[in-house]
Amino acid sequence: MVQIKSVGVVGAGQMGSGIAHVCALGGYDVLLHDVSAERISSGLSQIEKNLSRQVVRGLIDQAAMDQALERIKPAQELQAVGAVDLAIEAATEDEEVKKTIFKALTPHLGPKTLLASNTSSISITRLASASDRPERFIGLHFMNPVPLMNLVEIIRGIATDAETYEAAVSFAQSLGKTTANAEDFPAFIVNRILVPMINEAIYTLYEGVGTVDAIDTALKLGANHPMGPLELGDFIGLDTVLSIMNVLYEGLADSKYRPCPLLVKYVEAGWLGRKAGRGFYDYRGEHPVPTR
């Protein structure tokens, strides 16, 4: 089996920084890349903040935090990521953006380097076609927030070989994660079920069946969900929710996956949820307030 000792993460946002965080805690040397030094710096700051929270909660000790931070290095140039044993793309949920990254990265990869995408919905087979190694390409879908969520979906493309799959499962489990195998169909398992639920909650709001507060309260107390579906949509990012719904709608050609017009309107307005300060809740004050 391929021995993975070093990991490169392309994308220093919420998901990428979370993946770098758990890889460093797991004992791997990590290179973190993004399109600008500012984004890398922001990602590193978020990792340090999240590690500090784990220390305060007694989940790790200070020595583990210090060692993890020492293992993570910024990679200003994408080609630097080519030197690692496993490169994980964690860019925005846009197929063309992801393919552009793989095409740019491929010439700099070692012959045995494994490639992975953290995509939450896009075909692994199609993404693999943008590289020179579809047999060494796999989907590693970490859940958000990565340091707290225990699941990693493992998705094989049509050409992914057995050795790559075995290495991916072993790697994810070495991070303390539980793996679930998903076939390469739109949105895989978690988002095939979760995101249409969020979309249906938005339809419920759109049709006036309930208010934001009523819908979230109903699901939290009536279905024992830790977070209401509209609050969860804001947490994920409404642009990501819309992107996944579009992948489902276009990939499966079933009207039940049609994105709610209200979801489209919020994204067009730039009300993307927590990261934008407004979504189905307004986060700019001391406490979130429903926007409808």
Q: For 74-99, how does the pLDDT look when each residue is reduced to its tens digit (9 = 90+)?
A: 999 999 999 999 999 999 889 999 99
> CA dist 152 to 141, 180, 218, Å?
5, 6, 29
Q: Does one domain contain both 142 and 231?
A: no
Q: Are residues 25 and 151 in the same domain?
A: yes
Is the bond preceding residue 134 a cis peptide, omega within 30 degrees? no
Number of structural domains, the chain?
2
| Whether 200 and 283 share a structural domain | yes
List the CATH number of the domain containing 171: 3.40.50.720
Polymer length in residues for the chain: 292
pLDDT in tens, 241-272: 999 999 999 999 999 999 999 999 999 999 99
* pLDDT at residue 133 in the model: 94
In-domain check, residue 120: yes
Q: Per-residue b/e over 143-181, b at no fewer than 16 CB within 10 Å? A: bbebbeeeebbbbbbeebeeebeebbbebbeebebebee
The answer to the question of residue 187 being in a domain is no
Confidence tier at 274 by pLDDT (50, 70, 90): very high
Element containing residue 154 per DSSP (H, E): strand 151-156
Q: Which residue has the tokens 């994920």?
A: 236
Q: Judge if 21 and 128 occupy the same domain.
A: yes
Give the end of a domain, one of 162, 182, 202.
182
The reply to whether 197 and 178 lie within a common domain is no
Give the confidence band of 2 by pLDDT, cuts at 50, 70, 90.
confident
Region 55-62: mean pLDDT is 96
Taking only the tens place, the pLDDT of each residue in 143-194 is 999 999 999 999 999 999 999 999 999 999 999 999 999 999 999 999 999 9
Which residues pair with residue 7 across a beta bridge? 30, 86
Residues 152 and 206 grouped into a single domain? no
pLDDT tens readout for residues 21-56:
999 999 999 999 999 999 999 999 999 999 999 999
What pLDDT, on a 0 to 100 scale, did the predictor assign at position 3? 87
CA distance 9 to 7: 7
Q: Is residue 1 in a domain?
A: no
Among 126, 156, 182, residue at a domain's last position:
182
**Domain span at 78:** 6-182
Query: In degrees to the nearest 10, what's the CA dihedral of 239, 139, 89, 82?
Result: -170
| Residues annotated as part of the active site | 120, 141, 153, 191
* pLDDT score recorded for residue 265: 98
Same domain for 252 and 162: no
Q: What is the pTM of this model?
A: 0.90
Please check the confidence at residue 1 and state whether its pLDDT lies above 70: no
Q: What percentage of residues in the chain have a pLDDT greater than 70? A: 100
